[in-house]
A and B are shown apart, each in its own frame.
Chain A
């Protein structure tokens, strides 16, 4: 238990869409060890996004228990959830989601600001940008950066608070294959070197092939779990 950074038990999530109830998750139990790199796959409508939202503490499950790095998430209120997201989760989005008005440095500083940190923010953010290979671009705005560079800024932002895990939602989806491969490499490298738990949501099996474990969802349930390469039929 102690080596598990994520522990999901019988998680369900039900949406009401008008008269109809939709079971997005129908009872998912899942454990992810500290330092592990996991891919979550599945066709659209399988519950991938819902699972990712719950893992990232953006949403609450309808029922079930979720423990993230020792915190019982399902009992927390909105502000406590915000604090958990701030300290324990780093997000990397498909569309980067950087603030276009500010510099790369200010974007990376943002989580530190919401953490209430006042001193050394700038230095730490700059250091983080350096470690993703953008040390010479810290004063650039997102619009002045390529897609791959923007995603690097996003990764730096995700890691700056030293979270328990990084959640990457189709991180290479908006990139050409070369910068996509570079981003993937960077993520895997950070996973190896820093021991940051990495969860990648993707439907690209070549992305999943880089991870240690693949979890395949279908109709709100875990359909299969396997080591990449040994894909069951």
Chain B
């Protein structure tokens, strides 16, 4: 017996009851469409989140002051620490270092005043954090040396104060009442789930040390954070080790009692990948349940069909059909049903994913659902397997009917 012949017969039988076959297929269609759409949304979310993190740079290392809770004596991070880390002899895996002071600051133009994040950095910060400007220039070494009163605005701050992000270079804003000349405006990075990345102003580190540290108290060369860029992504763990060794020696900490914390950009990436992975599995799992329900629908209908066609089965057996022939006949029917449903489901799921992507784009989120070959394969194999699995019981019931009883059945 040949596959084509079986397939033809299965199609004949299925099309003889179009409404019922269609409704049965609907369960699989919805199941597969849900699986495809959910997986693609999950993968799209994962891609857009990791993409956003990658933009910040994967070879970034953050060093902050303070360690575990039981460490009571904390030496702050200082410019000396930053210089030591920047020394290529001590830390060959570190490419660039950007020391940083952070605080809140009031920015005012005319009567307009806004509270925002202040970042005080050196010129290397631009390269470390991939800062791109839509207008003007970033802080340079001379301005750091000369403690210049210059400021780079985040795009949100520029929008709030001036209602625009262009033509602001040369204007003056007041930080805590002191005048600063605008030398550049950053390009918008967009929100990425961690709050706005555009709501801050950036000034030279030395200027902040001279003008604002008095308000904060503490040593004048105290830092809030040191950003370090490893030479390559692969060198990040090595760079972390080097930084930790330098700081342990400089801070003379006891073993296991670091008074600082290092944090890799890769950690965030890993965490994000974990979260989106769980999300994808979760969504896919829910969708798989609907596929399962669809499969049970197929089993149900096939059981009805076997009962309905008892006489036909009896006749086929009388004409010489073996157990196997009947088994194959009914399995082909259920597999055809679920494969056809699966194919339609893939198309529908694709369409759904595309629609979700369109809606996301229309609402301003950079988010593209990804319908991968793997999810299509998964859905196809899964739906065929569902058809076979849930077809086995009805088919074997049909195959084991006794011809005498089947023929007598009314």
* Mask: chain B, 306-320; 1 = CB below 8 Å from A; 0 = not: 000001100111111
* Mask: chain B, 1-34; 1 = CB below 8 Å from A; 0 = not: 1100100010011001000000000000000000
Bound-state CA distance A109–B97 (Å) is 84
A59 proximity list for chain B (CB < 8 A): 402-404
User: Which B residues, 282 to 328, have Cβ-Cβ distances below 8 Å to chain A?
Assistant: 311-312, 315-325
Closest to B312 in A: A99
Interface centre among B5, B315, B323, B324 (most CB of A within 10 A): B315
Are B1 and A102 closer than 8 Å at their CB atoms? no
Asked whether A71 is an interface residue with its Cβ less than 8 Å from the other chain, the reply is no
Are B322 and A85 closer than 8 Å at their CB atoms? no
Which one, A86, A101, A113, contacts B5 given CB within 8 A?
A113
Asked whether A114 is an interface residue with its Cβ less than 8 Å from the other chain, the reply is yes
Are B1 and A116 closer than 8 Å at their CB atoms? yes
- List 12 additional contacts besides A85-B319, A97-B315, A102-B12; criterion CB under 8 Å: A78-B322, A79-B322, A82-B321, A85-B318, A86-B320, A91-B318, A99-B315, A101-B12, A110-B316, A113-B5, A114-B322, A114-B325
Q: Which of the four size classes fits the interface of chain A?
A: 20 to 34
* Mask: chain A, 98-120; 1 = CB below 8 Å from B; 0 = not: 01011000000011011110100
* Mask: chain A, 39-59; 1 = CB below 8 Å from B; 0 = not: 000000000000001001011
Asked whether B347 is an interface residue with its Cβ less than 8 Å from the other chain, the reply is no
Once A78-B323, A79-B323, A102-B12 are accepted as A-B contacts, the answer to whether A58 and B318 lie under 8 Å apart by CB is yes
Are A58 and B403 closer than 8 Å at their CB atoms? yes
The 5 listed contacts between A and B (C-beta, < 8 Å) are A59-B402, A83-B322, A86-B320, A97-B315, A99-B312
Bound-state CA distance A110–B319 (Å) is 8
Closest to B318 in A: A91
Are A82 and B404 closer than 8 Å at their CB atoms? no
Bound-state CA distance A91–B12 (Å) is 24
Are B323 and A114 closer than 8 Å at their CB atoms? no
Asked whether B281 is an interface residue with its Cβ less than 8 Å from the other chain, the reply is no
Interface centre among B13, B324, B403 (most CB of A within 10 A): B403
Closest to B16 in A: A101
Are A58 and B404 closer than 8 Å at their CB atoms? yes
Asked whether B407 is an interface residue with its Cβ less than 8 Å from the other chain, the reply is yes
Bound-state CA distance A111–B325 (Å) is 12
A53 proximity list for chain B (CB < 8 A): 404
Interface residues of A (CB under 8 A from B): 53, 56, 58-59, 78-79, 82-83, 85-87, 91, 93, 97, 99, 101-102, 110-111, 113-116, 118, 157, 161
Q: Which of the four size classes fits the interface of chain B?
A: 20 to 34
B12 proximity list for chain A (CB < 8 A): 101-102
Bound-state CA distance A207–B208 (Å) is 118
Are B319 and A101 closer than 8 Å at their CB atoms? no
Are B2 and A118 closer than 8 Å at their CB atoms? yes
Are A58 and B320 closer than 8 Å at their CB atoms? no
User: Which B residues, 355 to 410, have Cβ-Cβ distances below 8 Å to chain A?
Assistant: 402-404, 407
Which one, A101, A110, A111, contacts B13 given CB within 8 A?
A101
Are A114 and B319 closer than 8 Å at their CB atoms? yes
A110 proximity list for chain B (CB < 8 A): 316, 319
A113 proximity list for chain B (CB < 8 A): 1, 5
A118 proximity list for chain B (CB < 8 A): 2
Are A91 and B320 closer than 8 Å at their CB atoms? no
B321 proximity list for chain A (CB < 8 A): 82, 114
Which one, A78, A79, A91, A102, contacts B319 given CB within 8 A?
A91
A101 proximity list for chain B (CB < 8 A): 12-13, 16
A-B complex: 9 closest residue pairs judged by Cβ atoms: A86-B320, A114-B320, A82-B322, A58-B403, A97-B315, A79-B322, A59-B404, A101-B16, A58-B404
In the assembled complex, the CB of A143 is this many whole angstroms from the nearest CB of chain B, namely 11
B325 proximity list for chain A (CB < 8 A): 114
B322 proximity list for chain A (CB < 8 A): 78-79, 82-83, 114
A93 proximity list for chain B (CB < 8 A): 315, 407
